[in-house]
Structure 1
């Protein structure tokens, strides 16, 4: 029986990756994108790396990545630009099943703690039988495990409910600010 081909990415300059091949075999590693150069060079290198992965796999059914936010300094911009390249790559190659996973949800799944540090994520990957060499690779392995376990699909209703709750809280805050501004 063949499985879906899933590509899991810890998106960043130090790119962690994990792949489930159609045979079910799992591979993982880390790839470093150019640093200290123009950001366009880094984005182009990522695009080439993705094309190489697609060539080696033949096709990709699902792409999953960690949704990082509030990173310090330039890391946030780099992450989001790389995700933009990833989304463009997926669309150009007709990969329609792509999505991100919240950092806290991933850490909770992998290490039992939504605030787990990098060492805990590496230890959890090794305890699960994956001889990872870096925290980036560990995150990618956990993303892959999260996806193929069906956990993401099970979490979707809860995540949608939480998103709706945040929207409602934001709407109420805006309404309260408008009331205060009107009263002043």
Structure 2
């Protein structure tokens, strides 16, 4: 039987290769990690072509970064979402089982393409979580910004500065937003969706 040909994406990797994940931080929180067999990892996401993520592992270590889901030159329309699914599965495998997922709930987008991409990523995320029985919840943008900066309409620079004051070094606003979502979830909901 012939082996299928893998079509390369823009960075030369095959289509089934997960996107580059760039972890940025390894920060221990100042509050105690919950104990018990039920506690696993808590994941926060800022969905988009460049997805910001922050993960609190079972031992309380917070790691964050960005993952790019930009389509390659020869990719079909669904490859972005297939890569996102594979990335979530790998993150779940490497971090221990994910116990809860929090994501930024965007109600308005600047453009049509951004809204389509967000909707596709959110649909992929919620289907992935439903299949595994992982609770998930969206957090309104204003709630995240107000918790991080005190202003519900804070700009990108203010979100990055707020993450830095908490001891993180976000590479961009996507990562800063994911950190803010995770900290909001841990401080107001205990990380449980």
Query: Normalization by structure 1: what TM-score?
Result: 0.78
In the alignment, is residue 104 of structure 1 matched against residue 137 of structure 2? no
Displacement of 1:151 = 5.2
For residue 82 of structure 1, the aligned residue among 121, 137, 141 is 121
For residue 21 of structure 1, the aligned residue among 45, 57, 69 is 57
Separation in structure 2 between the aligned mates of residue 114 and residue 15 of structure 1, nearest angstrom: 21
The 10-residue stretch of structure 1 (31-40 or 101-110) with the greater mean CA deviation from structure 2: 31-40
In the alignment, is residue 6 of structure 1 matched against residue 42 of structure 2? yes
What root-mean-square deviation, in Å, do the aligned CA atoms of Structure 1 and Structure 2 show? 1.7
Separation in structure 1 between the aligned mates of residue 88 and residue 114 of structure 2, nearest angstrom: 20
Q: Which runs of 5+ in 2 are unaligned?
A: 1-33
Give the 3-state SS of the residue equivalent to 2:130 in structure 1.
helix
Separation in structure 2 between the aligned mates of residue 4 and residue 152 of structure 1, nearest angstrom: 12
1:34 touches 1:45 (CA, 8 Å); kept in 2? Answer: no
Paired residue for 1:43?
A: 81
Give the 3-state SS of the residue equivalent to 1:64 in structure 2.
strand
2:45 touches 2:52 (CA, 8 Å); kept in 1? Answer: yes
2:40 touches 2:96 (CA, 8 Å); kept in 1? Answer: no
Counterpart mapping for 1:1-184 below 5 A: 2=35, 3-35=39-71, 37-73=75-111, 74-95=113-134, 97-150=135-188
Number of residue pairs the alignment of both structures matches: 152
Structure number with the higher helix fraction is 1
Displacement of 1:69 = 2.1
1:69 touches 1:76 (CA, 8 Å); kept in 2? Answer: no
1:34 touches 1:41 (CA, 8 Å); kept in 2? Answer: no
Deviations 1:123-173 (A, max 9, x none): 0000111111111000000000000002589xxxxxxxxxxxxxxxxxxxx
Query: Normalization by structure 2: what TM-score?
Result: 0.74
Deviations 1:37-56 (A, max 9, x none): 54311111101110110110
Considering only CA atoms, is the larger Rg found in Structure 1 or Structure 2?
A: 1
